[in-house]
Structure 1
Amino acid sequence: QATAMSVDCLGQRAVLSGRRFLYIVNLDAPNEGHRKISRQSKWDIGAVQWNPHDSYAYYFAASSNQRVDLYKWKEGNGEVCTSLQGHTRVISDLDWAVFEPDLLVTSSVDTYIYIWDIKDTRKPTVSLSAVAGASQVKWNKKNANCLATSHDGDVRIWDKRKPSTAVEYLAAHLSKIHGLDWHPDNEYTLATSSQDNSVRFWDYRQPRKYLNILPCQVPVWKARYTPFSNGLVTVMVPQLRRENSLLLWNVFDLNTPVHTFVGHDDVVLEFQWRKQKEGSKDYQLVTWSRDQTLRMWRIDSQLQRLCANDILDGVEDLIDGISHLPEPDKTLHPQDSEPQHNSGHGDEEALKEDFLNDPLVGKKTDQLGLPQTLQQEFSLINVQIRNVNVEMDAVSRSCTVSVHCGNHRVRMLVMFPVQYPNNAAPSFQFINPTSITASMKAKLLKILKDTSLQKVKRNQSCLEPCLRQLVSWLESVVVRRTAWAFCPTLLSSL
């Protein structure tokens, strides 16, 4: 069983790491089988990562107990080039440097953080002593000398030129930090995810107070910024295996996720981004789960725009039919010392007409941006959602939704009670011609009911979010059964 995954910087391959084998998967043709690299060890691989530089794209590092092995993958074959040995306790994390392709940092329970130069692997070039064991280590994405480590609930900021002591200390959480991630564009900002059911955003120059907080109902396993706009993807620590979804957030409006990636049947162990294909505006999120499936999720320009910050971002696209308007006053300012407790709609609908009449008006919307009647909600539905056709009848308070995706057809009758959306959810009923199986219908109904209830509990309309979830789930089924799926040949061999 593979426990770790990494995607290479070219977006061509993923490595899946098990105790007996490393599996190399061609992401352009994942159903064409996979290559294996044998390994002899009684220890699982704790962390694996490809080198992020094009010139070193065929190297990856994998940690196992107290050692890191450097692998070289070229022309269909992989081998260990060298090993890094210096830690006296288990290695908890590793990270290739963003700016220097030869540098790799490792953290360990032994309280040391080592920076290695792979041109001379006999000993670390820099040693940072933290007194407490580190669980995470990450290089800053904008400052070549800066890195962060996590120690239980604390974060330390380091300058590798001053290794004797950390330059800053953040008492970030009361419980263990499971993940940390630097902002891709701001060298002072980072996000931490914790066992205390929250993600917190920090400017380390103001270590006493977080910038913002995303409260969650369960512990957060990972929270990472997206490569586009102002997005954040989170994975929860599932309680009784009920929550295996990934959530996409707009960091400027943390009231509700803008999208949920539903499909995995067990814990999501790792997720990473593929490099964009030339000429494409879409991104792909690659996920690996304990259910032993590798999935790729398409993030199209519509989803990316839901993470936009400024109300003038993508005005032309909004005119073309995008029906989401973030509130203009919800911004994350690094100089703010008080946490921002967001309020407002956090919904995917907006009153397009008001915005188009006066795009420069920066007024608070309260409920102005939300449909007030079912007729209004119908009129604001984005009819350009791919693969969807909606026939709406406000008089009978119903609509018929038709979705065609791959070989699957779904047709549903959605009925809206008189009290909707005031804590009253619509009902969903399959009608002919619907071609999916009974078990698929049950899963889909649960997703739609959960999505609608989440909205109507806040007295928010839910039709468009439900349509997006419906399409996303059907596409994930098609992905699973075609070249997008990680085929059973791997599943049987792990």
Structure 2
Amino acid sequence: MAARWSSENVVVEFRDSQATAMSVDCLGQRAVLSGRRFLYIVNLDAPNEGHRKISRQSKWDIGAVQWNPHDSYAYYFAASSNQRVDLYKWKEGNGEVCTSLQGHTRVISDLDWAVFEPDLLVTSSVDTYIYIWDIKDTRKPTVSLSAVAGASQVKWNKKNTNCLATSHDGDVRIWDKRKPSTAVEYLAAHLSKIHGLDWHPDNEYTLATSSQDNSVRFWDYRQPRKYLNILPCQVPVWKARYTPFSNGLVTVMVPQLRRENSLLLWNVFDLNTPVHTFVGHDDVVLEFQWRKQKEGSKDYQLVTWSRDQTLRMWRIDSQLQRLCANDILDGVEDLIDGISHLPEPDKTLHPQDSEPQHNSGHGDEEALKEDFLNDPLVGEKTDQLGLPQTLQQEFSLINVQIRNVNVEMDAVSRSCTVSVHCGNHRVRMLVMFPVQYPNNAAPSFQFINPTSITASMKAKLLKILKDTSLQKVKRNQSCLEPCLRQLVSWLESVVNQEDSTSSNPYALSNSVTPPLPTFARVSNAYGSYQDSNIPFPRTSGARFCGAGYLVYFTRPMTMHRAVSPTEPTPRSLSALSAYHSGLITPMKIRTETPGNLRLYSGSPTRSEKEQVSISSFYYKERKSRRWKSKREGTDANNRPIKAAGKVIIQDISCLLPVHKLLGELYILNVNNIQETCQKNAASALAVGRRDLVQVWSLAMVATDLCLGPKSDPDLEIPWAQHPFGRQLLESLLAHYSQLHDVQTLAMLCSVFEAQSRLQGCPNSYGPFPQRASNLASHSRYV
């Protein structure tokens, strides 16, 4: 180890450590470097004065290591190795393993201590599970989150105690640990694998993702269809994390050449060029973390560990911090700070008004801050920072390509006018947004002229819109676009019902509004019938099970496909709703992509859900009295009962190479081979294997003691030349080897081996040829 200072930056070399991970404790005093043989504990205040080691015995490298972020637990840190997490305790210069967390079945990819609860630790693995552990009881995880794909990153939200995020290849899932059954939100973030994930330190809805696709993207998971901003790069991005000051971001690139500078500092408000490049490391930076700021100091220190086996501490002074600041937000903070320091009113003049004046001053301060942040220019900046979005920003993100829909938006008056034309119906509506929107405050909806729908239709539509908006604002999510989709979908369903009463119920009127364009995300309000990720239901299938049975099912013989047999089956369940609404034909479904089938029909009602099934319209009943009389009956109300397809369980044990019952009945008495052959022949007869009865009869003759070796070999024919000797055994082994009957082969080999040992022959099979032994051995691989 060697230490040197360069431009007030500390450089410490650990050439023999072979460390793959690094972590800095919450007090800023120590760093741990994790190698295969040792864990190095480095004193960051005096890194050149030596370090302590914790010995470890493992053939696996440490994948992730992290100190507990709470002061009261600052002496704990966790390190993952293959499928296990070890909890270490470092006190008074000594370290030891306290306990281990074992639950994952595949390698652990990441871990993270909870920000608000010092006892909780979350781990992610390739085995598709995310476990939340309580270190007070490490026997099993307290919460288990299950995903379809393995998670590569897991991070707790820095502002919400129940929220965490995981990355799965190019996707991100947002979880609530109180609802572990499914993720609360999905983000299709990148086209390639995500290497880094970091939550914004001040806003609970914003996070940054870095990926193999050469980009860093910023997200508000309340609006997962579109990223807030993007940082394009020329090379893959290994890590991207927010700074603890101003609006900075530190990224680690994957260098194309060994000596390229890969550690960069950015201003999230200006991503055109980095504000600073950290020059010094000769190889890619594996990990970087911030030291706790010392009391009274305005400088920060960034601690980095590189593949070049050097630990560096970079000083970030106030001048470098200002490069990451936003002038607009800094201006409003200075202004608000100045207001807060204004002299208070003279309380002696108006004592009765002192309290209202104080409240009024505080309200003016908040109003000034809100008006400033609602400015469009400031809103654009705060959107990148991750602050709550303004109404102007929501208006700018509305999909204006919806056909027959016109939206006139006015952010100043906090209102918008929606006009929809569908068939013969016209709807014009005024939507007013309260000041608290969308923080649990829903907008109001009011019909204005010209609106052509009836009073009852207005009441139904208002209820749908209010329910949709309340469902969104309860989660602090914007609701304008979901309400627009519900409005158009409801009008289309009304037009379809009116057209169904015409003379041709299967023909659509020319005035029907074309289907909505594809949206990148479908809310749960649209039901599972429009989920293009669910495979199309099967009408027949078969599976083998380990108990020797084949289970298969078929559709009723009275049902036949309503489409041409040459037309392929649809790929997803979303096609069912398209069939049900009659909007498209089977051939149209075949040519449409799954995404375009999502919104062909509105949310099905309760009665519609009961009717929607694959057998109700994709397959039709045969119009035959013969089939009806045989397959249908009536229920208690004298209504016809349609026959369902059969589920058949077939015994296929005869096709298996091992007979289960025969294996239970077989015996092997090495002291009496004749009895063994006789009882095995009886067992074969009991289960109906007459061919094996003959085999065991021949084996009983071949192992008779009269065929054994005599004192004078000239008195009789040797066993190898006897008709029941070598030729018989070789023919039996060859025959059952060709049939792949490993059960019979194993029993014959065991019987003849036992007979040879019983006769005291030193070589395998004694009087029986070694060639037979080789043939039996070869049969195991046939």
Same fold flag (TM > 0.5): yes
- In structure 1, distance between residues paired with 2:427 and 2:258: 28
Does the CA contact (< 8 Å) of 2:149 and 2:168 recur in 1?
A: yes
> Post-superposition shift, 1:313?
2.2
Does the CA contact (< 8 Å) of 1:323 and 1:381 recur in 2?
A: no
> Post-superposition shift, 1:240?
2.7
Three-state SS of the structure 1 residue aligned to 2:445 is strand
Go from structure 1 to structure 2 and tell me whether the alpha carbon gap of 1:111 and 1:387 turns closer, same or farther (over 3 Å shift): closer
Go from structure 1 to structure 2 and tell me whether the alpha carbon gap of 1:428 and 1:169 turns closer, same or farther (over 3 Å shift): closer
Deviations 1:143-201 (A, max 9, x none): 00000000000000000000000000000000000000000000000000000000000
- In structure 2, distance between residues paired with 1:273 and 1:476: 57
Which protein is richer in helix relative to its size?
Answer: 2
Go from structure 1 to structure 2 and tell me whether the alpha carbon gap of 1:311 and 1:274 turns closer, same or farther (over 3 Å shift): same
Does the CA contact (< 8 Å) of 1:351 and 1:369 recur in 2?
A: no
Where structure 1 has 5 or more consecutive residues not aligned to the other structure, the ranges are: 479-483, 488-493
- In structure 1, distance between residues paired with 2:245 and 2:190: 27
Does the CA contact (< 8 Å) of 2:420 and 2:428 recur in 1?
A: yes
Does the CA contact (< 8 Å) of 2:269 and 2:384 recur in 1?
A: no
> Post-superposition shift, 1:241?
1.9
Deviations 1:37-67 (A, max 9, x none): 0000000000000000000000000000000
1:417 aligns with 2:424: no
Go from structure 1 to structure 2 and tell me whether the alpha carbon gap of 1:41 and 1:299 turns closer, same or farther (over 3 Å shift): same
Go from structure 1 to structure 2 and tell me whether the alpha carbon gap of 1:292 and 1:164 turns closer, same or farther (over 3 Å shift): same
Q: Which moved more, 1:365-374 or 1:311-320?
A: 365-374
> Post-superposition shift, 1:436?
84
Does the CA contact (< 8 Å) of 1:410 and 1:430 recur in 2?
A: yes
Deviations 1:218-261 (A, max 9, x none): 00000000001100000001113242431110101101111111
Three-state SS of the structure 2 residue aligned to 1:148 is strand
Q: Which moved more, 1:231-240 or 1:13-22?
A: 231-240
Three-state SS of the structure 2 residue aligned to 1:365 is helix
- In structure 1, distance between residues paired with 2:138 and 2:429: 61
Deviations 1:289-342 (A, max 9, x none): 011100000111111111111336279999999999999999999999999999
- In structure 2, distance between residues paired with 1:343 and 1:329: 14
Does the CA contact (< 8 Å) of 1:241 and 1:267 recur in 2?
A: yes
Does the CA contact (< 8 Å) of 2:36 and 2:58 recur in 1?
A: yes
Three-state SS of the structure 2 residue aligned to 1:321 is helix
Does the CA contact (< 8 Å) of 1:189 and 1:334 recur in 2?
A: no
Does the CA contact (< 8 Å) of 2:203 and 2:386 recur in 1?
A: no
Go from structure 1 to structure 2 and tell me whether the alpha carbon gap of 1:448 and 1:193 turns closer, same or farther (over 3 Å shift): farther
Three-state SS of the structure 2 residue aligned to 1:353 is helix
1:242 aligns with 2:256: no
> Post-superposition shift, 1:440?
80
Q: Which moved more, 1:420-429 or 1:199-208?
A: 420-429
Three-state SS of the structure 1 residue aligned to 2:145 is strand
Does the CA contact (< 8 Å) of 1:256 and 1:346 recur in 2?
A: no
> Post-superposition shift, 1:131?
1.2
Q: What is the total number of aligned residue pairs between the two structures?
A: 483
Q: 105, 110, 116: which is aligned to 1:93?
A: 110
Three-state SS of the structure 1 residue aligned to 2:287 is strand
1:120 aligns with 2:137: yes
Go from structure 1 to structure 2 and tell me whether the alpha carbon gap of 1:469 and 1:47 turns closer, same or farther (over 3 Å shift): farther
- In structure 1, distance between residues paired with 2:43 and 2:252: 25
Does the CA contact (< 8 Å) of 1:319 and 1:356 recur in 2?
A: no
1:344 aligns with 2:346: no
- In structure 2, distance between residues paired with 1:389 and 1:66: 56
Higher-RCO chain (CA-CA 8 Å, sequence separation at least 6): 1
- In structure 2, distance between residues paired with 1:94 and 1:243: 29
Q: Which moved more, 1:303-312 or 1:222-231?
A: 303-312
- In structure 2, distance between residues paired with 1:475 and 1:265: 63
- In structure 1, distance between residues paired with 2:401 and 2:339: 8
1:64 aligns with 2:81: yes
- In structure 1, distance between residues paired with 2:284 and 2:179: 39
TM-score normalized by structure 1? 0.65
Go from structure 1 to structure 2 and tell me whether the alpha carbon gap of 1:25 and 1:355 turns closer, same or farther (over 3 Å shift): same
Which protein is richer in strand relative to its size?
Answer: 1
Q: Which moved more, 1:169-178 or 1:347-356?
A: 347-356
Does the CA contact (< 8 Å) of 2:379 and 2:389 recur in 1?
A: no
Go from structure 1 to structure 2 and tell me whether the alpha carbon gap of 1:459 and 1:62 turns closer, same or farther (over 3 Å shift): closer
Larger Rg: 2
- In structure 1, distance between residues paired with 2:30 and 2:456: 33
Go from structure 1 to structure 2 and tell me whether the alpha carbon gap of 1:366 and 1:174 turns closer, same or farther (over 3 Å shift): closer
> Post-superposition shift, 1:428?
67
Go from structure 1 to structure 2 and tell me whether the alpha carbon gap of 1:288 and 1:330 turns closer, same or farther (over 3 Å shift): farther
Go from structure 1 to structure 2 and tell me whether the alpha carbon gap of 1:334 and 1:268 turns closer, same or farther (over 3 Å shift): farther
Q: Which moved more, 1:48-57 or 1:234-243?
A: 234-243
Q: 252, 260, 266: which is aligned to 2:283?
A: 266
Go from structure 1 to structure 2 and tell me whether the alpha carbon gap of 1:215 and 1:384 turns closer, same or farther (over 3 Å shift): closer
> Post-superposition shift, 1:267?
1.0
Does the CA contact (< 8 Å) of 1:324 and 1:348 recur in 2?
A: no
- In structure 1, distance between residues paired with 2:457 and 2:42: 28
Deviations 1:11-51 (A, max 9, x none): 00000000000000000000001000000000000000000
Q: Which moved more, 1:334-343 or 1:309-318?
A: 334-343
> Post-superposition shift, 1:350?
31
> Post-superposition shift, 1:446?
67
Where structure 2 has 5 or more consecutive residues not aligned to the other structure, the ranges are: 1-17, 496-718, 721-747, 750-781
Does the CA contact (< 8 Å) of 1:142 and 1:185 recur in 2?
A: yes
- In structure 2, distance between residues paired with 1:168 and 1:335: 52
Report % sequence identity.
99
Does the CA contact (< 8 Å) of 2:200 and 2:242 recur in 1?
A: yes
Go from structure 1 to structure 2 and tell me whether the alpha carbon gap of 1:232 and 1:403 turns closer, same or farther (over 3 Å shift): farther
Does the CA contact (< 8 Å) of 1:229 and 1:308 recur in 2?
A: yes
Deviations 1:94-147 (A, max 9, x none): 000000000000000000000000000000000000110000000000000000
Go from structure 1 to structure 2 and tell me whether the alpha carbon gap of 1:116 and 1:345 turns closer, same or farther (over 3 Å shift): closer
Deviations 1:71-95 (A, max 9, x none): 0000000000000000000000000
- In structure 1, distance between residues paired with 2:184 and 2:344: 36
Go from structure 1 to structure 2 and tell me whether the alpha carbon gap of 1:69 and 1:284 turns closer, same or farther (over 3 Å shift): same
Deviations 1:251-283 (A, max 9, x none): 011011111111000110000000000000100
